Amino acid sequence: MEAEGTVNDYAGEGNCRFVLELDNGSTIQPLYYPENFIFLQGQRIFVRYKELPDNIPVCDHGVPVDILYIEELGCAPYINLNSDNYDSLAWDPLYLNEAVVDDNHLKINVSYGGGCKRHTIDLAMIHGHNADSEEIPLFEIRHNANGDMCEAYITKDVCFDLTELIIQDIYEFIVFANQGGEDNFLMTFKIE
């Protein structure tokens, strides 16, 4: 079988890790896959796979499969926020371990406390943060912990697509992350 879909990282939720939510509505759990492939939260992928009906899954999300071929199609898009929808995404603290621009992608490595509920990480472009339209665009890393009070320390990689910035001839941007105190992350990045 083959399909396109999106990678979701369920790290800390039971015995789950990466689950592929396919565009056809199926959810699969890769038990075997090419060892050189790196899964990233939000990554768009194309897969060829074989279901493994005799395997008992350790995670209750998806059918266990052997990935015969996998190809990255892209990363998760960023979300646009303005004064009307600014509070529509949660802003729970996390720690941003690393952030790099690779081609037209922002790849980040984050850590947070949790382990009992599914967390989501989004990249949000904040419109109207400054009246001067010539200002460098501001992005915020938005984290929704879904009220998770567990204390496991979860680390995951997440990838975001910056192609829309390049289309608009924008090659510099600022990233801000709420790290839960006075030591928040704030850095300017350039797309080469």
Domains of the chain: 2-74 (2.40.50.500), 77-190 (2.60.40.2370)
pLDDT of residue 1: 94
Q: Is the pLDDT of residue 133 over 60?
A: no
pLDDT in tens, 152-179: 899 999 999 999 999 999 999 999 999 9
pLDDT in tens, 78-90: 999 998 999 999 9
Q: Predicted confidence band at 191 (pLDDT cuts at 50, 70, 90)?
A: very high
Ordered DSSP codes for 70-124: EEEEE-EEPEEE-TTTGGGS-----EEEEEEEETTEEEEEEEEEESSS--EEEEE
